Amino acid sequence: MSDQMLGDINLSGAEAEVRLERHFEHPPQMVWAALTQPARLAQWLAPGEIELRAGGAARLDFVDSGVAIDSRVTAYAPGRLLEYSWSGPGEPLRPVRWEIEAAECGVRLTLTLELPIVEDVARACAGWEAHLEMLAAALEGVPIKFPFELFKAQREAYKAKLGLAPAA
């Protein structure tokens, strides 16, 4: 796996900022629907609902892992920007920012994550890489289950990028 395939990571103080970018040959409205409509979210991320307005509720329920996200929309611009925290009540804020931009032959999707550096940054990056793979499949009309093998490979690649020892 080449370093070019991995997202950009900026470590600053107690925070890590990760930027993942994808190009999809689909209209922006289709990608936006996948990010915001409950039936579409369930195909690649998790069952849930996001109230499309600043201050709106963002709730996602990862039933298989027992993780529930219950936060608020912190930035919103219809069709192009959505931000909420990847956190539950009482947890540190982990903003997730989705930006859509029309591009030649489709759309550029930029996902920016922020999380405390004391957390497993490689795991978070690998998890989002896996979900972006699921998003790509869902956009093609062939949703897939969580790709654990990709997740494991990406986690090791991110560990290497961060200068961490590989898993034993």
140 inside domain = yes
1 inside domain = no
Cα angle, residue 11 at apex, residues 81 and 162 outer, rounded to 5° = 110
Phi, psi of 45 (to 5 degrees): -120, -75
168 inside domain = no
34 inside domain = yes
2 inside domain = no
167 inside domain = no
pTM: 0.92
79 inside domain = yes
Q: How many CB atoms lie within 10 A of CB 77?
A: 11
Domain ranges, residue 81: 7-162
CATH number at residue 57: 3.30.530.20
Question: How many structural domains are present in the chain?
Answer: 1
What 3-state class would DSSP assign to 19? strand
Q: Tens-of-pLDDT digits for all 168 residues of the chain? A: 334 478 999 999 999 999 999 999 999 999 999 999 999 999 999 999 999 999 999 999 988 777 888 999 999 999 999 999 988 778 888 999 999 999 988 999 999 999 999 999 999 999 999 999 999 999 999 999 999 999 999 999 999 998 876 655
Q: Are 81 and 99 in contact (CB under 8 A)?
A: yes
Q: Are 70 and 88 in contact (CB under 8 A)?
A: yes
